Structure 1
Amino acid sequence: MKKNLSLVLVTAMFATVLAGCGSSGSGVSTANDHLARIQTAGKITIATEGCWAPFTYHDETTDELVGFDVEIAAAIAKKLGVEADFQEVAFDGGLTGVTTGAFDMMANGVDVTDERSNTYDFTEPYAYDHAVVVTLATNEDIKSFDDLNGRTTANSAGSTYEAMGKEHGATVSNVDTLGETMTLVQNGTVEATINANTSAQDYFNTTGTTDLKVAAVDPEVTKYAIPLAKGADNDTLRKAINEAIEELRKEGKLAEISQKYFGADITAE
């Protein structure tokens, strides 16, 4: 009887240990569930550049990290019931960090492309835009994306805009910030830059420059969404973020944040 009782106790203890492994403490396994791990940690780590106004940048007065994407990501985190932990990093470093697990997600005007969809599982889009070519106001040689062939542009490394420049035959110089791309065009170091129309217009408005112009607009709509590492581990997280985006849209919060930073609603296609 003693031997049998001991065996029963050991078996029960072993089963308890197994049940506790990979558990969030609430009976939900975190081993293969990214969302459960985030909720257990109480925070979601978000990669962002912090230097691409008005999407993600620092307030000139307070130096606080602000922007359209920053507020959208913070609102999503609140819906998930966790703290938004922003980590500033170069654009390509943010994408790589999502793949390796260094960051839970990225909020930085990341547009959905077929190539990126091979590497990332995207959420539903939360905003829409168009890519544009910006040149000197006096430039009469570049009037379309095709006119970039054999010319020079400047863009963030790993961005869609860098890829678009190369696809159209341009030699692309990599820089870290939107301001740098515009400065290189202004001082004649490069002939053009490809960027989001919203960012270009914001730059024109905030700087008051008349030296630059939008020379061409891509008719194809750019869809901004949140990239997550591929795999079933992120299924529940992607679903939860999609639900959060939909709730924020219905509540009018997406439109409100968009109006604040763009003076227009770019969250409706």
Structure 2
Amino acid sequence: MSSKWLKTLSATLALTVGTTVASAETLRAVTDPSFVPFEMMDQETGKMVGFDMDILAEVAERAGFDYNLNTMDFNGIIPALQTGNVDIALAGITITEEREKIVDFSDPYYDSGLRLLVRADNEDIKEFDDLEGKKIGTKIGSTSYDYLTKNIEDDEGVTPYPGSADMYMALMSGSVDAVFYDAPNVGYFARTKGEGRVETVGPLYEGQQYGIALKSGSKWVEDVNEALAAMKEDGTYKEIYEKWFGKMPEDQ
């Protein structure tokens, strides 16, 4: 085999590999920066970190796409996917029949629900039925807001906030009597910044499942599902889960 032929072959292989790497599609990804510990800004690096961010990075690598990540308020995520301005989103997005009509979802990757949060000195609110006539904070565009407006006769006291930090601040300042929102976010706040000042009460309401949302008709749904399944099979999902939430329940 001549050295000239070897050089030609090497150049061809290098070009082929370079073309393969360069051809990886880059998806437009978004998240909501306030849903800790699923997604939050690392103040030191200026980058988004969290459970969802680790899931996205692993799924992208296995499915074979790159992504550019941006942030937006939660209530803008589904419309952005619907109009095709965004390709993929992770933000603790609950899979619902209404949302499935306008976007595609992956298989569920996290089991959740809704939970009540009250001030530590609260004596009046122990469960959902106690919310009648109270001031309740929740998040704009969330399933918790929908649940409140459907299940409370007089919902004038329901106040939707743009970010979770806003509603927690309102609770601790006394502007609202309770917060009703996604259980993992509520629980995380109670264990961290709200420790000793707030507490969760009552059972888990409306069992929910989070999914990775993609624009309708996305060609990546099957690849994303295969990546999620492989992550659960080889223990990668468990490793990521326990990094952010502690010991993983057997049914997760």
Structure 1 residues without counterparts, runs of 5 or longer? 1-38
| Aligned residues of 2:190 and 2:200 also touching (Cα < 8 A) | no
Q: What corresponds to 1:33 in structure 2?
A: none
Query: Cα–Cα, structure 1 residues 175 and 219, in superposed 2: closer, same or farther, change >3 Å?
Result: closer
Q: Does 1:148 align with 2:131?
A: yes
Does structure 2 retain, via aligned residues, the 8 Å contact 1:145–1:168? no
Separation in 2 of the partners of 1:126 and 1:137? 32
| Aligned structure 1 segments of 4 or more residues deviating by more than 6 angstroms | none
Alignment CA distance shift 1:97-1:135 (3 Å): same
CA offset digits 1:150-175 (Å, max 9, x no partner): 32222221111111222232333222
Separation (CA, whole Å) in 2 of partners of 1:41 and 1:154: 43
2:24–2:64 Cα contact (<8 Å) kept: no
Listed as ranges, the gaps of 5+ residues in structure 2 are 1-21
Question: How many angstroms does 1:133 deviate by?
Answer: 0.8
Structure 1 Cα separation of the partners of residues 165 and 239 of structure 2: 26
Give the residue type in structure 1 aligned to 2:204: D
1:37-76 matches, within 5 Å, as 42-76=25-59
AA aligned opposite 1:206: T
Question: CA distance change for structure 1 residues 67 and 267 in 2, over 3 Å: closer, same or farther?
Answer: farther
Instruction: Tell me the matched-pair count.
Output: 228
Task: Name the SS for the 2:220 alignment partner.
Answer: helix
Per the alignment, in what secondary structure is the counterpart of residue 207 of structure 1? coil
Deviations 1:13-60 (A, max 9, x none): xxxxxxxxxxxxxxxxxxxxxxxxxx9562121110112110110123
Report whether the alignment pairs 1:201 with 2:184. Answer: no
Q: Deviations over 1:182-239 (max 9, x none)?
A: 1111111111111222212221222252121112222542211122333xx32x3211
Q: Percent identity?
A: 26
Correspondent of 2:202 among 216, 226, 230: 216
Q: In structure 1, which of residues 138, 160, 165 is the aligned counterpart of residue 121 of structure 2?
A: 138
In structure 2, the residue matched to 1:252 is 235
The structure with more radius of gyration: 1
Amino acid at match of 1:55: F
* 1:167 has 2:153 as partner: no
Q: Does the C-alpha gap of structure 1 residues 244 and 264 become closer, same or farther in structure 2, counting only changes over 3 Å?
A: same
Paired position in structure 1 for 2:9: none
Give the aligned partner of residue 106 of structure 1. Answer: 89
- Give the corresponding residue for 1:183: 169
Shift of 1:122: 1.8
How many angstroms apart in 2 are the aligned matches of 1:268 and 1:103?
A: 32
Kept in 2: contact 1:76–1:244 (CA 8 A): yes
With over 3 angstroms needed to count, the CA separation of the structure-2 counterparts of 1:254 and 1:267, relative to structure 1, is farther
Q: When the two structures are superposed, what TM-score results if normalisation uses the length of structure 1?
A: 0.78
